[in-house]
Amino acid sequence: MDKKIVLIGAGSTSFGPPMFNDIYLSDVLKGSTIVLHDINREKLEIIYDLLIAENEKHDNKFSLERTTDRSKALKDADFIINSIEVGDRMELWRQDYEIPRKHGSTQILGECGGPGGTFHAWRIIPPIVEIIEDVEKICPNAFFINFSNPMSRVCLAIKRSVEKLNFIGLCHQIGFMVIYLPKLFNRSINELKMSVAGLNHFAFLLGIEELSTGNNLMPFFNANAMKYFKEREDRFVFSMLTFEVFKRFKAFSYVGDNHLGEYLQFGEEFTETQDMVDWINFIDKEGEFWYRRYLNKHKRLKRGKYPKKGILSRRPSGERAVPIIEAIINDKNSYETAVNIPNNGIIDNLPKDLVLECSATVDKNGVHGIRVGALPKNIAALLRIEATIQDLCIEAVLKKSKDLAIACLAIDPNVGSFEMAENIYNEMIEVQKNFLPNFK
């Protein structure tokens, strides 16, 4: 295989090695050129050294390169996988969470929704737009896969910034269903076919089918899910908020309480503040663990004591980037449960100018969303509120408009007033001035 795959943000220890792990497990991609790109040279060199050692252990299955020069990285690229962050992710996330709440916001997490998610979007969208504009100029036929959050808003900015880029966004929240459903149905997950729709971190399970018979399993799910998930309640995953939404809206959101609650005015009513703080702390500690682990492995490598079994696993990470790349190359017409793509006639009662999380098929021409038609009115109403906020969020950052920025904050269900919006805006602009656009 002579494909060129570029990993942007490859210096991240939570992104580079796991993604290379999936690539290494692929026989389809054997012989490809893998380019590691990052603007942090020190971290890039650590990951490159480790992956060179892994590649040598496996008979140099790939041609491995690294560069801090984006133009060089993108030249002749076939596939690009992006996972960048801006600044110190955890420090900024804590600001995104704490500052809006200090001024009275009811937001519960501040990563992808609420005013915190809006500032996250405003920091990360400008550099991603620069990346995709380069992609459009340098390798316009490349297929672009985004992992950076806030997923829906980043992907909407991509859609509005370039005309013909073939892109998708990927998130692993659907993985909760992979864990829970087999026990509920007493079947392997490979025997089940799910269909979903909504927005990233704000999506719903629409259907479950038994693959061997085509039988509709949703009636059984709807009758048994509440009892089943309550018996397995997890404060970070399925808990009071998921159960309340399931009861009130007759639809099950598979994303977990901490993410679902970001978009709902009543999210705080059914979540515990300490649980959200603990979640942020958990992510922080997990990131530190992996960074220290790979740093330790790199030190051992430099001392000539690299572990014989290396750092890669024989099991795939669960992320779907590599299977999708394989499906495009081999024209598989395969099925993907959850991808993020533009709403080109997929859901009738949501805006056309929106990026959905939905089920899709994959072939040589790319990723194609499976038509849903109209969602139930109550679910569509919830999603349209967030769609309106996303619309203003993207316009504000692309136009660098202060008026649109404050309006975006004010109409958010977790803000609800111009006074609060301006107070949040003024403090965040000062605290994060090195990372935010120059709104005028």
Residue-wise pLDDT tens digits, 345-366: 999 999 999 999 999 999 999 9
* Pick from 15-24, 52-61, 294-303: least confident: 15-24
Counting residues of the chain whose pLDDT is more than 90, the rounded percentage is 93
- 91 exposure class (CB count in 10 Å sphere: 0-12, 13-18, 19+): exposed
Mean pLDDT (whole number) for 377-400: 97
Mean pLDDT (whole number) for 192-217: 97
**Residue closest to 271 by CA, chosen among 110, 115, 139:** 110
Residues annotated catalytic, as ranges: 172
pLDDT of residue 20: 86
pLDDT of residue 104: 97
pLDDT of residue 439: 97
Mean pLDDT (whole number) for 147-174: 96
Mean pLDDT (whole number) for 398-426: 97
Residue-wise pLDDT tens digits, 76-125: 999 999 999 999 999 999 999 999 999 999 999 999 999 999 999 999 99
Per-residue confidence at 6, pLDDT binned at 50, 70, 90? very high
pTM over 0.95: yes
pLDDT of residue 374: 98
CA 96 to chain CA centroid, Å, is 18
Per-residue confidence at 131, pLDDT binned at 50, 70, 90? very high
Residue in this structure with the two tokens 């024209």, named with its chain if needed = 331
Per-residue confidence at 308, pLDDT binned at 50, 70, 90? confident
Per-residue confidence at 217, pLDDT binned at 50, 70, 90? very high
Average model confidence (pLDDT) for the chain? 96
